[in-house]
Every structure is written in structure tokens, then in C-alpha cells.
Chain A
Amino acid sequence: MTAVNARSVDSTTSLGSQAPLITLENVRWHVPTPRGLVKAVDGVSFSARDGEIVCLVGESGCGKTTTGKIAAGLLTPTSGRVLYEGRDISSLRGDDFSRFRRGVQLVHQDPYASINPMHTVGATLSAPLRRHGFAGSSSAARTRAAELLDLVDLTPSNDFLDKYPHQLSGGQRQRVAIARALTVEPRFIVADEPVSMVEVSIRISLLNTMLRLQRELGTGFLFITHDLALARYFAWGGRIGVMYVGRMVELGLASDLIANPQHPYTRALLSAIPEADPELTRTKTRVELRSLEIPSLLKLPSGCTFHPRCPQFETGLCEVSVPQLRAPGSTVAELDSSNVHAVACHVVARG
């Protein structure tokens, strides 16, 4: 395991099943706007192994969706690289590139917008099956589409094949979206807030379906959410990364990060979340922030972007330089290993 821990991010050496499937290397997404440069994503690095679950958590505007789009190859980062099976995706051509495209699929947030209302469920699923050669004939595509619907618990699947999206509930639509992502047998699915538009009482069953897919098919997930409790549930066996205005501030095993948060921002978030238990939620100790204002992406604070709000702010340290994401007590960034708890905070790093 130590070998894995010390492995530097740019290495392309294969470590068997431990080699990351997908790696984001210091990716940035800087957008020039009339009012100045917006640093939506500013140097995010992490990796996911085959079948691993990684959750990105953060408030709106923190860049988690942009990061997800970069990981899925939908956005080309303005700097930094995305590696798929150790190869930079921007250098992939022809078959190699379509292998990446098939290997990484996206499930969008809004199932009311992401599914063509004019096509039946069967047609929605058959199109990619035929296009990518997973089904040789339309009847084979239909059979496979029915299997996929079974897989995402839309049963009896034959009832759903000829339905149009408007005949389905939000949860059912999202299941169709997941089935569509599965048509090309991906190894990794980027799911951007997949349950936020779904009725609360059935969110869990959708997550349970996704967790079953991860177990049975070995599909990895990059799960993007603003809800830490959902992230804890979904990523229990995986990792959670917390983002704050374009940067990853903490990354660690889900169980460890929630039980033992290190970064002041993560601690503030966890202390602020109401819990569905009256005694617990009313007696929780709160981390008080120095300011409630979320900085503008156009005018980010110097040094650590959290310093104007941070309760542990120290003059002469926090506003001077940007803290790097690293495990406390070590000096190298060790981001692709599964059990390192990394924090981007000067005060925590000093110990």
C-alpha cells in the first residue's frame, strides 16, 4: 500500500487493479468574462480507481459540476490534464478516444431536460446501442434495452419500453437516464446531483440502485452533490472530496472525513447541517464563521480562499500563500491513494 501512497500522480506505470482509471491532474477552468477572469475550477487533482466511488461535495458555485464535466471530457480544462487509463485524453484519437467516450458516461441533474421528450424509452436506449455496435439489429437493441431497464429496477421492463418521458415520474426518468448511460457499458459514471430533482422519499431507492450497479457491474462513480449526508451514504466505501470556490480543500475516506473532519470549512459545513433527530440537531456544537459572505469568483481572496471566513485564520500565514492539498505531517501530495486523508490548510498542516 505504501507504494501506492507514494506514487506520484503523473506516473503511468500500471499497478494492476490499483492503477487509477481516471485522474484529474491540476485541472483549471478559467473563463474570461467582460468583468474579469472567473476561476471556476482552480487546480483540482484527484483520481478514481476502477469501480471506486468518489463524491464531490460543495455549495453551489464551488466548481463541482464543472469538475465533473472536465472528468467526463465534456469540457477541456484551460490547464491541467485528464488521464484515462494513464493516457492524456486530449492526445487520444480515433478508437482510443471513443473507448474513453464509452468508458466514461454522464448522468445529468435534471431528468426532465436530459431525455428527449419525443422519443420512447425504448428508442432512447436503442439509439446508442445501435450506434456503438452493442446491438446488431433493432430487435436485439430492444431486448438489450429491456435488460437495462430491469437492471435499473424499472420493472416490468416491457411496460416501460414504449412509454414517453412525460408518462414517467422524475425518479423513473432518472432511472432511464442511468440505463442510457449503461448502454455503452461504461466503467465510470459521472453523476451530477442525480437525485436532487427526485422526490425525497424515493431518493434512497435510486441511490441503492446505483450502489447495486457499482457492486454488480463494477462501475465506478463520481457522484456530485451538495448534500453531505447523501454523500456519506453513497460513498461509504469510497472517498469524499470537499470543494470550496474552485479548489479541493479536503479529500479522504467517506467514513473518516465525516467522523473526523480536518478542514475548518468541512467542519463548519458538518456542524451546520440539520439532522433528522431533534435532540441531536438542537444540541450540536456549531463552528462559527467570521463572515457569511461567499467570495466572488471574480475577486478571490489571496492565499487560502477561505481565510476571510475561517475561524482558525492566522495573520501572516493564511492570506499569504495558497495551501496545498496534502496529508497532515507529510510534504508530498498523495492524492490517488485510497486511504490518505488530505487537507488544504496551513493551520492543520502545521499541526
Chain B
Amino acid sequence: MNGTVASAIGGTGVFAPPSRFRLPWSSAVDARVDGSKLPKEVVLSVRDLTVAYRVRRGMVQAVRKVSFDLRRGETLALIGESGSGKTTLALALVRLLVRAAKVTDGTVVYQRDGRAVDVLRVGSDALRHYRWNECAMVFQSALNALNPVLRVREQFIDVARAHGMTNRATAVARTLELLKLVQLDAERVAGSYPHELSGGMRQRVLIAMGLLLDPQVIILDEPTTALDILTQRTVIDLLRRLKEERQFALILVSHDLALAAELADQVATVYAGRIVECGSVADIFYRPNHPYTVGLLNAVPTLSGDFRSLVSVRGQPPDLIDLPRGCSFLPRCPFGTPECEREDPQLVSVVPGGPSIPGAGSHTAACFHAPTVAKGFSRRLKTEQGDEVASPDASAKRGTR
């Protein structure tokens, strides 16, 4: 795993191909798909993406039939417990999966300037271009993602060279410009080794590096985990400003609901490899329709509002090799009925007749009891008028069911 990941992050210096190997995006002829049905503003359109890891005990079904549309300038947050498959999903989008993992089904269609290609089928040169030039991934743990023996400047130049920006002076100028953009002391940071920088600075360096080739899509895996509160705030504010200025689409992988509340336009709850609910940030936080989303929201301590007791989602995440029959959330669900055991609920619109593919303008949930779940929930910390109110205890209601 490390080999693949590291070579995609920036430690590629030695092995970076000369620029003449760089092929334009349009060369990916074999992977071209008919994009005429795709709305123009959609940059990434994922359908039925399925990823499984082969292990001794069997197949780990890490991502199961995930579909969503991501529009230009939009932020999608994937939230869920660790082991829910959200990172695997993100890695599959840039084809950085380890060898033991196989994409067994689905398409990832990327669109730019009216041209659409299936990322899962492009050849290695076009793939190299797609990664970073079109879709950059910023990895979790800024400590490990940077090469400890190279100055920050050299790591930027490596990336630039690997992607065809051969003029060193141009690359350096661009590096300094980006470091300034992420509010760092550009000259000093560029000449520093990673160990000389604090965690927050390293995270900002990585974000700047992600922006180096001006991609349309940026994937951030747990960008604020392990950062102190005030540093976390700087990173959040920075991301918000950058996405307004640059209009890139952002996929945010996090277990932190508060981060999603801060930055996301769309939020998808991922459970056992599936998107079990997806909707606008307001839908998910104020009108959740899936019991797992409700469970997550009921387990988050807050600073505002009245004190209320919290409850964890009971039980353990399922074994992804041997998934429970029917709905995979059933063993932990307070709403379960025999129906849930017979059949795995599909992701459908919670509004009758609404679109069933997650993306802007749709609110979908994979639960037979979605209306009941939605009715039992109320957790607004603030009313429309802006004053804080006591939230009726949704957890108590849940318990009686």
C-alpha cells in the first residue's frame, strides 16, 4: 500500500518520468464515454462503484454499489465510522487502491470541458494526468504524507516535474504563490524540512500541494484530525476561502460531523460500504431519514444548547466479509422490523418522485422506515430567529420504539 500511495504523493522525484511522456487528457480515447446525458456542471459521476479486498477469510466488501454526482464547486462530505469504507471509496476515485483491492463493478466518469472519460478504464499515462492535474488527493496525517528528507520546495518541484512543468523557475514561483495562498511564510516554509513545521503548517503545505496543478476535484481525507482547535479553525477557514476563490469540487472524508457541518454542501452517510443517506447539509443535520445518521447525530457532544444526555449507536459495525442478511444496519437499529431482515433497502428519494442518485437537489435514504425515523427527530440547537432552544430529546423517543 505504502509504495503506491507514496509514489502518488510526491516522493516521486527519482522515478518521475520526463515531460515528453506526458500525454494530454484527450489521449484517453479508449476510456472516453458518452457524456451527452451528463449535466454540464457535473465533474464526477460515480455509478455502482463496488470495491472488495481479498483476504484469507474471503472478500471484504469495502464499497458496495456507491453512486453519486459531484458538481463543480460543490463540497461533498463522506461521514461514517472508521472501517465504513469511506477512505477506500476515496482511494478508488483516484485509483490508488492496494493490489489486494479490486474494483469489481461500476464506473467513475470524470468530465471536463464537455469531454467525459471513465477513470477506471483510462491507460496509465492518462491516469497520471488525471491524478493531481484533474483530481488531487490530500492524505490523512500530514506527518507521514510528506517526504521527511526533502525540503518542501523540492517536493513541490517533484510533483510539478512529474506532471510536465519542467521549468524549475516557474515551478518555484508557483510554489511560493501557493504557499502564500495558504497563509504561510512562503520563503521560509519552502526552504524547510517537514520536521521543522508544525502539524497545522504541514497540513496547509499539503493542501497547497494539492492545488499545485489547479485540479477540478480535490479529495481531502480527514484534513483536521490530529490538529489543535485553533489550528483546525485556520485550516477550515482556509478551505472555505479557497473553495470560494478557486471553485474546485471538494470531497471531504471525515468522521467529524462538525467539520461536515462547517464545509459541506452535500453530506453522505457511509455505513458498511454503502451510502445509506445523502442530502444537503441541512437535510442531514436537521431532517435525517436514516437511523444511522440519527445515531451519529445523537452521539455528538455540543457546546451550545441545553445539556442533554447522549447515546452511542449501540453495537459494533458489521463484519464486511460476512454481512448480515437484509439491511446491514439492522443489528444496531432501533427501528428494525422483519421486513428489514428479508431485504436490503435500496437508496431512494425521501421525497416521492425525487431523484434517487445522490447529488445536489436530492435527499435519499436507504431505510424502509425513513418517514418514521424523520418524524422522531428534532435536534436544532438554534431556531430561525437565532435564539437557542432546548431540543426535544429525540433519543428518549427512540428508546421506546
Residues of A that sit less than 8 Å from B by CB: 59-60, 169, 199-206, 208, 226-230, 232-233, 236, 255, 258, 268-270, 272-283, 286, 289, 292, 294
Contact = CB atoms under 8 A, between A and B. Distances in A.
A272 B235 CA distance: 11
A59 B233 CA distance: 13
Given A228-B303, A279-B382, 18 more contacts: A203-B312, A204-B299, A204-B301, A208-B312, A229-B303, A236-B307, A272-B233, A273-B258, A273-B303, A274-B233, A274-B236, A275-B258, A276-B257, A277-B302, A278-B282, A281-B258, A292-B230, A292-B234
Contacts of A286: 233
A202 B303 contact: no
A interface: dominant SS: helix
B382 A226 contact: no
B228 interface: yes
A201 B262 contact: no
A323 B58 CA distance: 63
Which 5 residue pairs across A and B have the least CB separation, nearest first? A205-B312, A274-B258, A272-B233, A233-B301, A59-B228
A276 B301 CA distance: 8
B64 interface: no
A208 to B, nearest CB: 8
Contacts of A230: 301
B363 interface: no
B322 to A, nearest CB: 17
Interface string B208-252: 000000000000000000001111111010000000000000000
A344 to B, nearest CB: 19
> Contact size class for B?
35 or more
Nearest to A233: B301
Contacts of B255: 200
B229 A269 contact: yes
B400 interface: no
B2 interface: no
Contacts of A282: 261-262
A276 B229 contact: no
Contacts of B296: 201
A273 B229 contact: yes
Interface string B105-126: 0000000000000000000000
Nearest to B282: A278
Contacts, number: 123
B281 interface: yes
Contacts of A202: 299, 312-313
A159 B295 CA distance: 27
B377 interface: no
Nearest to B311: A204
B31 interface: no
Given A274-B262, A277-B285, A258 B303 contact: yes
Contacts of A226: 228-229
11 contacts: A205-B312, A229-B303, A232-B303, A232-B307, A233-B301, A255-B307, A275-B261, A275-B303, A277-B302, A277-B380, A282-B262
B89 interface: no
B331 to A, nearest CB: 14
B167 interface: no
User: Which of A202, A208, A274 has its CB near the most chain B CB atoms (within 10 A)?
Assistant: A274
B36 interface: no
User: Which of A169, A227, A229 has its CB near the most chain B CB atoms (within 10 A)?
Assistant: A229
Contacts of B386: 283
B310 A204 contact: yes
B285 A201 contact: no
User: Which of A208, A277, A292 has its CB near the most chain B CB atoms (within 10 A)?
Assistant: A277
B300 to A, nearest CB: 4
Contacts of A208: 309-312
Contacts of B301: 204, 227, 229-230, 232-233
Nearest to B267: A278
B41 interface: no
Nearest to B379: A277
A294 B230 CA distance: 10
A347 to B, nearest CB: 20
A205 B231 CA distance: 28
Given A204-B299, A282-B262, A276 B285 contact: yes
B299 to A, nearest CB: 5
B394 interface: no
B232 A274 contact: yes
Contacts of A289: 230
B230 A268 contact: yes
Contacts of B341: none
A199 B303 contact: no
Contact of A277 (B310, B311, B312, B382): B382
